[in-house]
């Protein structure tokens, strides 16, 4: 564990002491080395239980896919940011890279925390670098509002979580994951216990996001620069899912009745945000709402607390992380050429950038959950377990799948097919860097088809 964390911390030192000409290549190579080393976390000699334990950090089959995703994403963020930061002064570039690295450090500590307060502190700590990336390096005036929404939605949800964790700690004595399963469960019917249940989950529901409290997400994703959008979509939303899965253990048996409205809200959100995607004019906004849609399915899968639900949620989180990040990178390639996010301004790109069209095609297919990709595996497992929980959810989830397919195809057809507008004929050709970036996103997704056991958690 420390052999990944300490090199990540020293990457901060490398950022500030490398000669400027070699900064980006050095950091890229360093982060790739850390990412490759982190792949060892996927090797799990036993099916359940904790690995590599020290007093404060450990990982298990639930957190190791998310940890590997976090470490894998840093080199990808660095590749993606190289172009738009090239014009900035030297120290600003170093500061930006330091923010990305510190985000990775906090995320590693969050996913490997063994005690819930440590998880909480690191969960909140990830807000600060993300806030700075969005508000300082975003490109439009609305980024300040986006940063405020992002910070305050998340904090308003997570401060009750802190009080709820402290209440549990004062009555049960320990908040360590290792002993949570064996501590007696709280079984009472007081109204205050229902409020406590709500307080435990609200932070993660806001982070995921659940449909009613999702307003921060389109703002934050759209206004963030590419690395900010990538890390938000790929990993920060999954913090909410991961936290929910960890805390579900202590919330039984209240969850059986109290989770009804949230499951319905999540499923309704799948349909509503999917429908909004069909009417979007802003490309990044479309991808952001598609994130809300997928995470609504994840939230429903976690709240029904079945093994297939948890497994489906975890696989969908990993697959969605890679897919959504790839889609944001593709949208960024459009943005860097036309400096606009409007979809209809960059149409018919297959004529001009045919190789990029391949990546658009693969990413759109992944987004609409085409078999045999892991996206489908996750969605099918969640839909099946929801059907088992109640027959009527099939209407909502089936409709949701249909709408997802329509907006993903709509996005692909609108950006790639059709006649190309005249102002785009002299578009800059695709860089090798951009092809590398998308290959590194989509190849792991394709490779996961062969061995999904790596990412399906400890319940299946």
Partner 1 sequence: MNPYILTILLFAMGLGTTITFASSHWLLAWMGLEINTLAILPLMCQSHHPRAVEATIKYFLTQATAAAMLLFASITNAWITGQWNLEFMSYSLPTTLVTVALALKIGLAPLHAWMPEVLQGLDLTTGLILSTWQKLAPFCLLLQINPSNTSLLLILGLASTLVGGWGGLNQNQLRKILAYSSIAHLGWMILVLQFFPSLTLLTLLMYFVMTFSLFITFKVNNSTTINSLSMSWSKAPIISSMVPFILLSLGGLPPLSGFMPKWLILQELTKQSLAPLATLAALSALLSLYFYLRISYAMTLTMSPNILSNALPWRLPSNQHTLPLAITTSLTICLLPLTPAIITLLTL
* 124 near partner 1, judged by CB under 8 A: yes
Binding positions for partner 1, 199-218, rule CB under 8 A: 199
Residue 148 in the binding site for partner 1 (CB under 8 A):
yes
Is the CB of 148 or the CB of 275 nearer to partner 1? 148
Distance CA 357, CA 346 (A): 13
Q: Is 5 in the site for partner 1 (CB under 8 A)?
A: no
Per CB under 8 A, the list member of 128, 172, 258, 264 interacting with partner 1 is 128
Q: Judged by CB under 8 A, does residue 115 bind partner 1?
A: no
Number of residues that bind partner 1 (CB under 8 A): 33
Q: In whole angstroms, how close is the CB of 155 to partner 1 at the nearest point?
A: 6
**CA nearest neighbour of 203 among 257, 163, 155, 251:** 155
Closest CA to 246 of 316, 177, 178, 317: 177
Q: 382 and 293 in contact (C-beta within 8 Å)?
A: no
CB contact burial 260-278 (16+ within 10 A = b; e otherwise): eebbbbbbbbbbbbbbbbe
Rounded least distance, CB 107 to partner 1, Å: 13
- Tell whether residue 155 is a contact of partner 1 (CB under 8 A): yes
Q: How many CB atoms sit inside 10 A of residue 201's CB?
A: 28
Out of 5, 12, 159, 399, point to the residue binding partner 1 (CB under 8 A): 159
Candidates 333, 297, 332; CA nearest to 314 is 297
State which residue, 199 or 251, has the beta carbon closest to partner 1.
199
Q: Is 12 near partner 1 (CB under 8 A)?
A: no
**89 near partner 1, judged by CB under 8 A:** yes
Of 213 and 267, nearer to partner 1 (C-beta) is: 213
- Residue 369 Cβ vs partner 1, minimum distance, rounded to whole Å: 37
Please report which residue ranges of 208-282 form alpha helices under DSSP H: 216-223, 226-231, 237-251, 255-258, 260-277
The C-alpha atoms of residue 328 and residue 324 are separated, in whole angstroms, by 6
- The tokens for 404 are 């997802």
Is the Cβ of residue 14 or residue 98 nearer to partner 1 in the bound state? Answer: 98
Give the one residue of 162, 258, 380, 409 binding partner 1; rule: CB under 8 A: 162
Applying CB under 8 A, the span of 148-156, 243-251, 273-281, 402-410 interacting with partner 1 comes to 148-156
- Residue in 132, 172, 380, 405 binding partner 1, rule: CB under 8 A: 132
Q: Which stretch binds partner 1 (CB under 8 A): 115-123, 342-350, 397-405, 428-436?
A: 115-123
151 binds partner 1 (CB under 8 A): yes
User: Which residues does 61 contact at the CB level (< 8 Å), separation at least 6?
Assistant: 44, 47, 48, 456, 457, 458
The answer to whether the CB of 194 falls within 8 A of the CB of 186 is no
Which value, to the nearest 10 degrees, does the dihedral of the CA atoms of residues 88, 89, 91, 93 take? Answer: 20
Tell me the CA end-to-end span of the chain in Å, nearest whole number.
25
Contact with partner 1 (CB under 8 A) among 67, 77, 113, 122: 122
| Helix/strand/coil for 282 | strand
Asked whether position 152 contacts partner 1 by CB under 8 A, the answer is yes
Phi, psi of 392 (to 5 degrees): -70, -20
Query: Does residue 136 bind partner 1 (CB under 8 A)?
Result: yes
Give me Rg for the CA atoms of the chain: 21
Residue 135 interacting with partner 1 (CB under 8 A): yes
**Which of the ranges 154-162, 216-224, 307-315, 403-411 carries the binding residues for partner 1, by CB under 8 A?**
154-162
Ranges of beta strands (E only) in 219-312 are none
Burial class (CB in 10 A: 0-12, 13-18, 19+), 250: buried
Residue 166 interacts with partner 1 (CB under 8 A): yes or no: yes
Q: Does 95 bind partner 1 (CB under 8 A)?
A: yes
- Of 82-90, 203-211, 374-382, 384-392, which segment contacts partner 1 by CB under 8 A? 82-90
Instruction: Tell me whether residue 156 or residue 395 sits nearer to partner 1 (CB atom).
Output: 156
Using an 8 Å Cβ cutoff, are 359 and 442 in contact? yes
Residue 223 binds partner 1, judged by CB under 8 A: no
Q: Which residues pair with 59 in a beta bridge?
A: 51
Residues that bind partner 1 (CB under 8 A): 87-89, 92, 95, 106, 120-122, 124-125, 127-128, 132, 135-136, 144, 147-148, 151-152, 155-156, 159-160, 162-163, 166-167, 169-170, 192, 199
């Amino acid at each position: 564990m420390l052999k990944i964390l300490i090199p990540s911390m020293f990457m901060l030192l490398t950022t500030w002491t490398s000669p400027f000409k070699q900064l980006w290549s050095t950091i890229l190579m360093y982060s790739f080395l850390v990412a490759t080393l982190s792949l060892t976390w996927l090797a799990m000699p036993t099916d359940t239980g904790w690995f590599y334990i020290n007093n404060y950090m450990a990982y298990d089959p639930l957190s190791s896919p998310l940890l590997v995703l976090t470490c894998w994403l840093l080199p990808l963020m660095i590749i993606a940011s190289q172009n738009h930061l090239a014009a900035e002064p030297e120290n600003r570039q170093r500061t930006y890279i330091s923010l990305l690295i510190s985000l990775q450090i906090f995320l590693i500590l969050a996913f490997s925390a063994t005690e819930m307060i440590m998880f909480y502190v690191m969960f909140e700590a990830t807000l600060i670098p993300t806030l700075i990336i969005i508000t300082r390096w975003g490109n439009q005036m609305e980024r300040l509002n986006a940063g405020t929404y992002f910070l305050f939605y998340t904090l308003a949800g997570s401060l009750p979580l802190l009080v709820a964790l402290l209440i549990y700690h004062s009555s049960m004595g320990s908040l360590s994951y290792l002993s949570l399963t064996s501590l007696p469960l709280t079984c009472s019917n007081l109204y205050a216990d229902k409020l406590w249940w709500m307080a435990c989950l609200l932070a993660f529901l806001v982070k995921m996001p659940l449909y009613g409290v999702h307003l921060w997400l389109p703002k934050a994703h759209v206004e963030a620069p590419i690395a900010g959008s990538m890390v938000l979509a790929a990993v920060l939303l999954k913090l909410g899912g991961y936290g929910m899965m960890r805390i579900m253990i202590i919330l039984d048996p209240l969850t059986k009745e109290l989770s009804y409205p949230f499951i319905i809200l999540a499923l309704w959100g799948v349909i509503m945000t999917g429908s909004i995607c069909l009417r979007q004019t802003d490309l990044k906004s479309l991808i952001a709402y598609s994130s809300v849609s997928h995470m609504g399915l994840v939230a429903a899968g976690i709240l029904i607390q079945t093994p297939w639900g948890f497994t489906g949620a975890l696989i969908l989180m990993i697959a969605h992380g890679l897919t959504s990040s790839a889609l944001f990178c593709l949208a960024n390639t459009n943005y860097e050429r036309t400096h606009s996010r409007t979809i209809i301004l960059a149409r018919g790109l297959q004529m001009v950038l045919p190789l990029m069209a391949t990546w658009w095609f693969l990413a759109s297919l992944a987004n609409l959950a085409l078999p045999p990709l892991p996206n489908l595996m996750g969605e099918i497992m969640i839909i099946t377990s929801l059907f088992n929980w109640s027959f009527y959810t099939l209407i909502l989830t089936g409709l949701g799948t249909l709408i997802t397919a329509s907006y993903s195809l709509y996005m692909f057809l609108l950006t790639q097919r059709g006649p190309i507008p005249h102002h785009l004929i002299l578009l800059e050709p695709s860089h090798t860097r951009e092809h590398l970036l998308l290959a590194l996103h989509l190849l792991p997704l394709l490779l996961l088809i062969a061995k999904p056991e790596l990412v399906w958690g400890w319940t299946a």
